[in-house]
Amino acid sequence: RATTAQSSAVDLRNVVTGETLDLGDVLPEGKDTPGVKQFLSTGHNPYITDASCLKQGEQTFLAACSGCHGHIGEGKIGPGLNDNYWTYPQNTTDVGLFSTIFGGANGQMGPHNQSLTLDDMLQVTAWVRHLYTGPVGDAEWLNDGQKKTYTPYKLGETFPDDPPGMCAKSGK
Ligand code: HEM
Ligand code: CA
């Protein structure tokens, strides 16, 4: 269990209780990567359109989320995550979705702060955004430029091995 809380310029709160999430109660690995630092200071997830992060985010999603939310986020015992209906409207923002993954919601949707690193949570958030198939106009998490190049997820699409980007294993 990490002992040093890191400060955050963004307000991270449990989506159900509104309680502030404890950034000291996280796994020791992956808590101060450049991506995590950028997210905690800006509230924007820099991994959203980064192919190197999407690939790892997919692996985490398949291991930690798809059992309840379906392989492409289509919904199973947990709600669909690839459409434009959200039980918690704040999930349309990077901060909101990250907070839901970190702190959990109701019932089976438990917190992930002791099973995923902060960096994993950003990666899996990016993958959830990538799975989105709803109207681009409702994709509040995309900026105007990202909306212009957005293409809905297609089953079976492939990524190159270790593409360049912030999560590249080869450090490109
Ligand atoms: C709710 C994401 C893992 C079961 C949610 C919501 C999100 C989410 C974003 C809120 C959806 C909305 O506002 O409409 C994720 C991610 C996971 C994960 C990214 C992996 C890191 C799981 C697992 C389970 C689960 C493993 C089952 C054991 C549920 C349930 C809800 C939910 C039942 C509804 C809770 C409520 O309405 O308060 N999840 N989830 N989730 N999830 Fe997950
Ligand atoms: Ca939904």
Candidate of 82, 109, 129, 132 to mutate for ligand 1, largest count of ligand atoms within 8 Å of Cβ = 109
pLDDT (0 to 100) of residue 155: 87
Q: 163: Cβ below 6 Å to ligand 1?
A: no
pLDDT higher than 90, residue 135: yes
pLDDT higher than 80, residue 171: no
pLDDT in tens, 51-75: 899 989 999 999 999 999 999 999 9
pLDDT higher than 80, residue 3: no
DSSP string, 61-101: HHHHTHHHH-TTS--SSSPPSSSS--SSGGGGSHHHHHHHH
pLDDT higher than 70, residue 139: yes
DSSP string, 138-149: G-TTS-HHHHHH
What average pLDDT does the segment 105-129 reach?
Answer: 98
Which class for 120: exposed (0-12), middle (13-18), buried (19 or more C-beta within 10 A)?
A: buried
Report the nearest atom of ligand 1 relative to the CA of 60.
21
Q: 18: Cβ below 6 Å to ligand 1?
A: no
Rounded to 5 degrees, what are φ and ψ at 20? -65, 135
Q: Whose CA is nearest to atom 7 of ligand 1?
A: 100
Candidate of 14, 68, 102 to mutate for ligand 1, largest count of ligand atoms within 8 Å of Cβ = 68
Q: 23: Cβ below 6 Å to ligand 1?
A: no
Give the DSSP H/E element, type plus range, for residue 51.
helix 51-64
Q: What is the DSSP letter of 26?
A: S
Its ipTM equals: 0.99
Which class for 133: exposed (0-12), middle (13-18), buried (19 or more C-beta within 10 A)?
A: middle
pLDDT in tens, 7-61: 688 999 999 999 999 999 999 999 999 999 999 999 999 999 898 999 899 999 9
User: Contact 72/157 with Cβ under 8 angstroms?
Assistant: no
pLDDT higher than 70, residue 1: no
Neighbouring C-beta atoms of residue 89, cutoff 10 Å:
11
Task: Give the chain's mean pLDDT.
Answer: 93
Distance CA 161, CA 22 (A): 35
